[in-house]
Chains A and B, each alone.
Chain A
Amino acid sequence: MANIAAQRIKREFKEVIKSEEVAKCAIKVELVNDSYTELKGEIAGPPDTPYEGGTFVLEIKVPETYPFNPPKVRFMTKIWHPNISSVTGAICLDILKDQWAAAMTLRTVLLSLQALLSAAEPDDPQDAVVAKQYRENLEMFQITARHWTNVYAGGPHVNSDCDDKIRRLVDMGIEEHQARAALSSYNWDLERATEQLFS
């Protein structure tokens, strides 16, 4: 790994650990290997959003050319968000792409992602299905996002209605996540989800 990238990540790592956001448990970075090329980030779901109470794990890959190129960041925790793929966890955020600046750090990236959770950009979606739901049925989007936060990110809000519907599909032999994804995509319409799953 290029010297400058490793040196910088080391410094940033210390910076994040000392930062006040860590004290508030808002963000966190952990090393995955010794070479500083791969890190594990964590962000707390921002308050007053469907993600509140959840903890989202991120995979951070630092390229050789860092900081002249942005780190590659992906959600490891499944999340229901217009700008994040519900399948792969890929993120659509300008600063991680063409609006990157060399002075940005792991800390600013994590804080930007946290801000993204509280202010989605449905017009620049990563996940078209989620974005459609966000635009057309915001209430349903919030229910879904909160449910996903509860199931995958340890959020506190249990939605028994959703759980019931998923259990019925699981009883039919469908894998749980597959069932949840199908139901979420069809606004928790059991009939249409079943239809899609068995077609």
Chain B
Amino acid sequence: MADVQFGRYCIHFFNTRECPNGTKCSYTHKTNHEVEQFHYVVGNEFFLGKLRNQRVCRYFRRGHCIHQQNCHYLHDNSEPAAGRGSIDRVSRNTRAGTNANPPSTSQTADMVNKNTVNNRKELPNKQLKISSEEILTCKKIEETSKSEDAKEEGACASPVSSFRDSWVNAPEFIPKSSLQPRSYAAVLGSESANDGAACYTDLVANRKLCPYANKDGVCRNILHCTYLHGEKCDMCERLILHPFNEEQRKKHRQECLMEHEKNMELSFAIARSKEKSCGVCFEVIMEKASGEQRFGILPNCNHCFCLTCIRRWRQARQFENKITRACPECRVTSDFVCPSMYWVDTKEDKDKLIDDYKSALARKDCKYFKKGQGKCPFGNKCFYLHALPDGRKLDVGPPPRQRRPRNQENNIDVLQVMLWDYLDERDFPWQSLADDLEDLVSFFTDSDESDWSDYEIFFD
């Protein structure tokens, strides 16, 4: 099936023969008689559908299809699948073998006639090919029929099929279980009877699970659905475990476990944050207005504030910097506030949060550096990204040391203080909670609301 025609077919037309977009629809309109529902993903593209007539009839492949010529599926034997056996072909070979004459069916007779003309020339070549495949029971007429097969299907005969082809010539009939066609139900039902199932394992393991069941967990057409239906995963409770593909099962279980751990972590985070109230406004932070349900984590102490309050306190200008840099509860100085969706109480969690915060800031362009056009007064101490337009990072070196000129005794590192102001003042408008429940901690782009004029007094 080298030339499988995948495409992106319109799901609306497929299901209802109607499409709200009508002729403007960007997908091809095919009905469910023409397209097989089949989905796959290439890169970020999701494809749906495969032209139906490209698919080989499974019953034909197993040996018998009651629809014969009227079958929607392709009746050819180009695919060397295990368990394949064609009654049509066998009967043809039988007749050919016994009569050493062209088959009686007028249709096949025509074909053979045509082919024998061609075979005359190609015969030595074919013979060579077949003998190289160690076929012992080579009769001339069989060769003819074989080359006829090869002609028709473009595929070579495998030892298995050649053996099967000559079974009629066997002295006595010995059924071979591995080649015996088995019913679909028998294959599905008997995992333990792997003698027979073994040859199907590969085939079955690669089969797709029903896309409907995957999506909603329910296949509405379960009686007639030709897809495999997964087993229930006890963690996610979806019918998603592939019944035969152990690898897929393992992978899914791992994914589920990770998902579960993530959810546990999240619920722990919510549990420990739920009761926490802000030391400034005294309100329970998780019960505040949706835009204000953020924690402002101070790196150097474990007092809990909402981001709004602690930022506002740290920006209070009526007090000395020493006062506002300090925790309002314990007066331990912290250089910056780390925004967080949830409260962190262990040191590891906190360290991770702060690292995440710093790396999130490091991905954002510094608004003073301006991709190399401006100059950042904080130098390489700035948490933000100093990169040129081509993405190259630049080490701008340490910031020039500036001390408050009018107050020489009071040697506060003004620059340091300003840097923390800068960090505090850049605000992070928060997305809605639903959007980032995935991440325990998330950071969003800043709105560039900080006011440089506050700092100018230091620069006189």
Binding site for B on A (CB under 8 A): 4, 7-8, 11-12, 67-69, 98-104
- A124 to B411 alpha-carbon distance, docked (Å): 25
Q: Is B329 within 8 A of A103, CB to CB?
A: yes
Closest to A98 in B: B319
Q: A68-B312, A68-B313, A69-B318 are in contact. Are A99 and B282 (CB under 8 A)?
A: no
Closest to A15 in B: B282
CB distance from B76 to the nearest CB of A (A): 77
Binding site for A on B (CB under 8 A): 279-283, 303, 309, 312-313, 316, 318-320, 323, 326-329, 331
Q: Which of A7, A68, A98 contacts B283 (CB 8 A)?
A: A7
CB distance from A15 to the nearest CB of B (A): 8
Q: Is A68 within 8 A of B316, CB to CB?
A: yes
Closest to B331 in A: A101
Residues of B contacting A101 in the complex (Cβ-Cβ under 8 angstroms): 323, 326, 328-329, 331
- A68 to B283 alpha-carbon distance, docked (Å): 15
Judged by DSSP, the binding face of B is: loop
Q: A68-B312, A68-B313 are in contact. Are A100 and B319 (CB under 8 A)?
A: yes
Residues of A contacting B319 in the complex (Cβ-Cβ under 8 angstroms): 98, 100
Q: Is A103 within 8 A of B280, CB to CB?
A: yes
- A99 to B281 alpha-carbon distance, docked (Å): 18
Most buried by A among B280, B316, B323: B280
CB distance from B277 to the nearest CB of A (A): 9
5 closest A-B pairs (Cβ-Cβ)?
Answer: A103-B328, A102-B328, A101-B328, A103-B279, A103-B329
Q: A8-B282, A69-B318 are in contact. List 9 more A-B contacts (CB 8 A).
A: A7-B282, A67-B281, A68-B312, A68-B313, A69-B316, A98-B320, A102-B279, A102-B328, A103-B328
Residues of A contacting B318 in the complex (Cβ-Cβ under 8 angstroms): 69
CB distance from B374 to the nearest CB of A (A): 32
CB distance from A105 to the nearest CB of B (A): 8
Q: Which of B283, B309, B320 contacts A102 (CB 8 A)?
A: B309
Q: Is B279 within 8 A of A98, CB to CB?
A: no
CB distance from A9 to the nearest CB of B (A): 10
Q: A101-B326, A101-B328, A103-B329 are in contact. Are A11 and B316 (CB under 8 A)?
A: no
Residues of B contacting A100 in the complex (Cβ-Cβ under 8 angstroms): 319, 323
